[in-house]
Chain A
Amino acid sequence: MADYLRLEGIRKSFGSFEALKEIDLEVVKGEFVCFLGPSGCGKTTLLRIIAGLETQTAGRILQAGRDISVLPPAERDYGIVFQSYALFPNLSVADNVAYGLVNRKVAKATAAARVDELLKLVGLPGSGAKFPAQLSGGQQQRIALARALATSPGLLLLDEPLSALDALERVRLRQEIRSLQRTLGVTTIMVTHDQEEALSVADRIVVMNQGMIEQIGTPLQIYRDPATPFVADFVGKINVLSGRLRPGRDLRIGASRFDCEHDTDAERDVKIYLRPEDVLARPIAPGDANVFDGAIDKIEFLGSYCLVRVSAEAIGAQPITVYLSLNFLAEQKLEVGSRLPLKLLPERMRFF
């Protein structure tokens, strides 16, 4: 069997509330998968079901070919890291990391060597004698990671491991987790509500909403090719325009005609989803297709680039947001009220 972890028809209800509806998912060995979604979408419940901390109402879970659907946590094979770290505060760092080893009758010297190895692996060599309270949040989470990996589990589960950390530490640790995971090749599932986090570390992202999987795909697929309006909206910024699609790859927005790559048999109303970076302000050559003129409404300064809202009568006065670099705005002397031409990339349009 190629899949290391396989979920079949997982359902979970709490009373009359359906937290998960028919979840099917395969995870390949060595893969890093992120469950991404807003709070309450069921992603944590799904992770806890995989861990055996909750029991699914219906459905089957197979891990390495073994049916673990109704096995208690102790009979499953995984390591887990929680948002709260859950380090034992009265035990030293070394005792925390060795916690699972001691119970397996590993010889003392072997266990000590393993602890040293893991502390080195997570970048905290020599901190074994400290207590958790002496470490920063990021360091504590590294120890929790070391503890979860100590027994070399087949599956690593991460439940929002970075949410309690500050922004800088979060970015640093997520890259460390990613490279650690690559080195060890351990199959990993991480739950997060932070799309940037998911996009930056995952091999595949499972986007969830209201107890259902909206889309499964690589970060690039999720971003470039969202399967549903929800995914398009939830991951990254996006413009939503109303228009009308006609046979012959003919798209009308407002009074203007645009080229598109989607053909239709019958004319219909559509919503066009287009990311800000897919609306170009340059290069635009005279006579280019899909170009229209608009006036700047509002400029939101974000550092090296700005989020610029433009409204154009040509597309029915619908506001459209584009990214423009600070340099470009200065070069062109653009400010609120200025007019500029914009070009829509036909290959990046998504229709729903």
Chain B
Amino acid sequence: MSAVLPASNSRALRQRSHWTDRVAHLSLLAIVVALVVFLALPLATILAKALQDRDGAFVGLRNFASYLATPALLQSFVNSVSVALLVTAVTVPLAFGFAYALARSCIPWKGTFRTIALIPLLAPSLLSAISLIYWFGNQGIARRLVTALGFENIYGAPGIVVAECFAVFPHALMILLSALTLADARLYEAADALGTSTRRKFWTITLPGAKYGLISAALVAFTLVMTDFGIPKVIGGNFNMLATDVFKLVIGQQDFQRGAVVGLLLLVPAVLTFGIDWLVQRKQTAMLTARAVPLKPKPQRGFDALMLGFVVVVSALMLAMIGMAVFASFATYWPYNLTPSWKHYTMGFVDAEVGDAFLNSLKLAAGTAFFGTIVVFVGAYMLEKTRGADALRPLVRLLAMLPMAVPGLVLGLGYIFFFNAADNPLHGLYQTLTILIVCTIVHFYTTGHLTAVTALKQLDAEFEAVSASLKVPFFKTFWRVTLPICTPTLIDIARYFFINAMTTISAVVFLYSPETKVASIAILNLDEAGEAGAAAACAVLITAGSTVVTLLFIALGAWVERSTQAWRRTGGR
């Protein structure tokens, strides 16, 4: 014993790496490098630009000072925050009511209502703005309603608020739906046994249970509105918001410095809400244990009828929004000749702009779905299931979560600053389809990453240990076991990437060239050119494309389920 040195004096032993471990370490390193180059460095460039003058000399906070000294720009900040707060205050209660009806009442056709409410996810956010213009714009069929309500017209704050409510609704709904679906029936049974009133059950069980969902939904709604670009661009009129300011400053005035300042202003609330959400999520552990009994709502006539009425009204509004865009896209000459024709579609395709843009959109979406899914899944696997290189792992975790906190507009801004710089060796990527794909993958990385991590964590933690003991390299187990088990998850991730790539505007608006213009950008251009009909046609086209692809993905999922997941159905143990 006396010959043994005390522990503190000797260095801890380190296991020798197997060559297969080194393969894993190199893959992890590659992911880190990719995320640093395509996420961290562009963001850092924004910060640098905000602190420099036009010639690149360090000027400290002078850009911020000049920003604050411009009342017009400051007004945009106030506008953005107040619109975002208003939309959150309207949407979250509505979405909660809708989710409550779907999860806790016995109304019929729940699946249909859910699908209708989620349709906006398949459309570019500005579709609702276009529809609103057809409903309430200067030539809208119901414009008198706007003036009757005391507004001058729909352009500006009123239009933005209404359009954003529609665009944000499904996002809030999904969060609240999962919060309300996850309920333990035993809590309600215990309350019933104690003779608790319905109202008291709602305030003491339901609401606390959905508390985190409500906070999350509010934060998501707020951030989405703060950073959305399409809707204020289309229906905002002279009402300026931060997101449109960035575009004007950077693309219009080439004022990168003040553009960077506004970009940072957009980043701050997004990062703040992300941080709050993260803290809240961490507290929400083991709310629902494996033993929980799922809650099955019991029929209550009056309550169910009330809920049905509410859901029908909201769904009707949703359909009115989508329907108007579809209707208008077919109208020959709005508002004088409403006979349906393919004019706007053929015109768009004849001009070739919409046709090429739609093709680009499909390419972008397919590339994002294909490469994004591979990168995200391999990255999550390397992070969760391999050993060693422990210094890299927290870095990968952080970088994978970061995109959630970065608005697309800010990411796109970072890409301009970073890749447009002539001395950047990656400058050649600028305005190519490749950079659009990379940017879109990074923009939506976090959700894909979290989905993959959740799926991987459900696998037995010892698969890799068993493989190593059997001298089977991890990548063989990855190929033979992990990948086949996770195929349904891969399809989900690919679908998520595809749909978002089809509808995104914010990040790519800074990065396209005439050759790589995508359909969602084409809508903006057509709208600016006064081709409202063609813009509506293009938005409908994207929505239809997303819908078809979603259905294809669902079919693919069903086919995979049938042909490769036979082992799941054997059940019974």
* CA–CA, A133 and B463, complex, Å: 16
Min CB–CB distance A260 → chain B (angstroms): 33
Q: Knowing A99-B472, A133-B570, say if A90 contacts B18 (CB, 8 Å).
A: no
Q: Give the chain A neighbours of B566 by CB distance below 8 A.
A: 131
**Residues 462 to 512 of chain B near chain A (Cβ within 8 Å):** 462-463, 465-473, 476-477, 480-481, 484-485
The smallest beta-carbon distance between A215 and chain B, in angstroms, is: 18
Contact B15 A71 (CB under 8 A): yes
Taking a contact as CB atoms closer than 8 A, the residue among A71, A99, A133, A147 that contacts B567 in the complex is A133
Interface-lining segment among A52-60, A231-239, A323-331, A338-346: A52-60
Task: Tell whether B398 is near chain A: CB-to-CB under 8 Å.
Answer: no
Q: Closest approach, in angstroms, between the C-beta of A163 and any C-beta of chain B?
A: 14
**Cross-chain contact of B20 among A9, A74, A82 (Cβ < 8 A):** A74
- State whether A55 touches B470 (Cβ < 8 A): no
Q: Is A254 interfacial (CB-CB < 8 Å)?
A: no
Is A90 within 8 A of B484, CB to CB? Answer: yes
Which residues on the A side are within 8 Å of B481 (C-beta)? 88, 90-91
A 90-124 binary contact with B (CB < 8 Å = 1; else 0): 11000000011001100000000000000000000
Please, how many angstroms separate the alpha-carbon atoms of A150 and B484 in the complex?
A: 24
Interface of A is mostly: loop
Give the residues in chain B near A88, CB-CB below 8 Å.
463, 477, 480-481
In the complex where A74-B18, A74-B471, A103-B476 touch, is A51 in contact with B465 (Cβ < 8 A)? yes
Give A309 Cβ to nearest chain B Cβ, in Å. Answer: 36
When distances are taken between beta carbons in the complex, the residues of chain B under 8 Å from A318 are none
Scoring A residues 116 to 141 as 1 if CB is less than 8 Å from chain B, else 0, what string do you get?
Answer: 00000000000000111111110000
**Chain A 58-90 per-residue mask, 1 if CB under 8 angstroms from chain B, else 0:** 110000000001111111101110101110111
Evaluate contact between A90 and B468: CB separation under 8 angstroms.
no
A84 adjacent to B4 (CB under 8 Å): no
A87, B566: Cα distance in complex, Å: 16
Interface size class of B (residues with CB under 8 A): 35 or more
Residue pair A84, B462 in contact (C-beta under 8 Å): yes
A109 to B188 Cα, complex, angstroms: 59
Contact B472 A103 (CB under 8 A): yes
Q: A55-B13, A103-B471, A103-B472 are in contact. Are A73 and B573 (CB under 8 A)?
A: no
Most buried by A among B469, B471, B564: B469
User: Which B residues from 1 to 40 make CB contacts under 8 A with A?
Assistant: 1, 4, 7, 10, 12-18, 20-21
B568 touches A (CB below 8 Å): yes
A85's closest neighbor in chain B, by CB? B460
- Contact between B15 and A104 (Cβ–Cβ < 8 Å)? no
Once the chains are docked, how many angstroms separate the CA of A135 from the CA of B573?
6
Query: Number of contacts between A and B (CB, 8 Å)?
Result: 125
Residue with the highest number of chain A CB atoms closer than 10 Å, among B20, B466, B570, B571: B466
Q: Give Cα A197–Cα B462 distance, bound, in whole angstroms.
A: 23
A75: B residues at CB distance < 8 A: 16, 18
Q: Which residue of A lies closest to B460 (CB)?
A: A86
**Contact indicator B10/A79 (Cβ below 8 Å):** no
- Closest Cβ neighbor of B4 among chain A residues: A9
Contact A133 B471 (CB under 8 A): no
Closest Cβ of chain B to A162, distance in Å, is 16
> Which B residues are CB-close (under 8 A) to A90?
481, 484-485, 564-565, 567
Report the nearest B residue to A71, measured CB to CB.
B16
With an 8 A cutoff between CB atoms, is A176 at the interface? no
Contact between chains at A86 and B466 (CB < 8 Å):
yes
Which residues of chain A come closer than 8 Å to B12, judged between CB atoms?
A: 13, 55, 57-58
Asked if B476 and A133 sit within 8 Å, CB to CB, the answer is no
A80 B465 Cβ-Cβ under 8 A = yes
CB atoms of B16 and A56 under 8 A apart: no
Judge whether A148 is part of the interface by a CB distance below 8 angstroms: yes
Measured in the bound complex, the distance between the Cα atoms of B571 and A136 in whole Å is 11
Task: Report how far A56 CA is from B14 CA in the complex, Å.
Answer: 8
Within 8 Å by CB of A69, from B4, B13, B465, lies B13
The answer to whether residues A73 and B468 also contact, given A58-B10, A86-B463 and a CB cut-off of 8 A, is yes
Write the nearest CB–CB distance from A75 to chain B, whole angstroms: 7
Given A13-B7, A56-B13, A91-B480; A148-B460 close (CB under 8 Å): no
Chain A residues, CB < 8 A from B565: 90
Is the beta-carbon distance between A52 and B15 smaller than 8 angstroms?
Answer: yes
Closest to B474 in A: A74
Evaluate contact between A70 and B472: CB separation under 8 angstroms: no
The complex places the Cα of A186 from the Cα of B515 at a distance, in Å, of 68
Find the B residue at minimum CB distance from A103.
Answer: B472
Q: Is the CB of B469 within 8 A of A73?
A: yes
Q: By the criterion CB–CB under 8 Å, are A58 and B13 in contact? A: yes
Q: Does B514 contact A (CB under 8 A)?
A: no
Question: In the bound complex, how far is the Cα of B467 from the Cα of A73, in angstroms?
Answer: 9
Chain B, residues 431-463, CB within 8 Å of chain A (1/0): the string is: 000000000000000000000000000001111
Instruction: Determine how close the nearest CB of chain B comes to the CB of A72; give it in whole angstroms.
Output: 4
A31 at the binding interface (Cβ < 8 Å):
no
Asked whether any CB of chain B lies closer than 8 Å to the CB of A203, the reply is no
Residues B460 and A100 in contact, CB atoms below 8 Å apart: no
Indicate if B572 sits at the interface (CB-CB under 8 A). yes
Contact assessment for A72 and B567 in the assembled complex, using a CB-CB cutoff below 8 Å = no
Q: Say whether A250 faces chain B, with CB atoms less than 8 Å apart.
A: no
Would you call A11 an interface residue if the criterion is a C-beta within 8 Å of the partner chain's C-beta atoms? yes
Q: How far is the CA of A89 from the CA of B571 in the complex (A)?
A: 11
Most chain B C-beta atoms within 10 Å of own C-beta, residue among A57, A89, A147: A89
Complex: how many Å from CA A205 to CA B492?
50
Q: In the bound complex, how far is the Cα of B467 from the Cα of A273, in angstroms?
A: 47
- Point out the residues of chain B lying under 8 angstroms from A134, CB to CB: 570, 572-573
Min CB distance A60 to B, Å, is 9
Q: Give B14 Cβ to nearest chain A Cβ, in Å.
A: 7
- The complex places the Cα of A69 from the Cα of B572 at a distance, in Å, of 43
Q: Given A13-B7, A56-B13, A135-B573 in contact, is the A80-B469 Cβ separation under 8 Å?
A: yes
Knowing A9-B4, A57-B7 are in contact, say whether A147-B466 is a contact too (CB < 8 A).
yes
The smallest C-beta distance from B474 to any residue of chain A, in angstroms, reads: 9
Cβ B15 vs Cβ A72 within 8 A: yes
Closest partner residue, chain A, to B486 (CB atom): A90
Which partner residue on chain A sits nearest B467 by CB separation?
A99
A82 CB contacts on chain B under 8 angstroms: 460, 462, 465-466
Q: Are B462 and A72 in contact (CB under 8 A)?
A: no
| A22 in contact with B472 (CB, 8 Å) | no
Chain B residues with CB under 8 Å of A13's CB are 7, 12
Within the assembled complex, what's the spacing in Å between the Cα atoms of A218 and B565? 48
Cα A59 to Cα B463 in complex, Å, equals: 27
**B270-305 near A? 1/0 per residue, CB < 8 Å:** 000000000000000000000000000000000000
In the complex with contacts A86-B465, A100-B471, A133-B568, A22-B4 CB distance below 8 A: yes
A242 at the B interface (CB under 8 A): no
- Contact: B470 with A103, CB < 8 Å? yes
Min CB gap A157→B, angstroms: 8
- Inter-chain contacts of A311 with B (CB < 8 A): none
How far apart are the CA atoms of A147 and B471 in the complex, in Å? 12
List the A side residues contacting B10 at CB < 8 Å. Answer: 58
Minimal Cβ-Cβ distance residue in A for B5: A58
Distance in angstroms from A218 CB to nearest chain B CB is 26
Tell which of B20, B461, B568, B570 has the most Cβ of chain A within 10 Å. Answer: B570
Given contacts A9-B4, A74-B471, 9 further A-B contacts (CB under 8 A): A53-B468, A71-B16, A75-B18, A76-B469, A90-B481, A90-B485, A90-B565, A130-B570, A136-B573
The 11 sampled A-B contact pairs (Cβ below 8 Å) are A71-B15, A80-B466, A84-B462, A86-B460, A89-B485, A89-B568, A90-B481, A90-B564, A90-B567, A100-B469, A103-B472
Residues of A near any B CB (own CB < 8 A): 9, 11, 13, 18, 22, 51-53, 55-59, 69-76, 78-80, 82, 84-86, 88-91, 99-100, 103-104, 130-137, 147-148, 150-151, 153
For the complex of A and B, 3 pairs with smallest distance between CB atoms: A100-B470, A73-B468, A72-B18
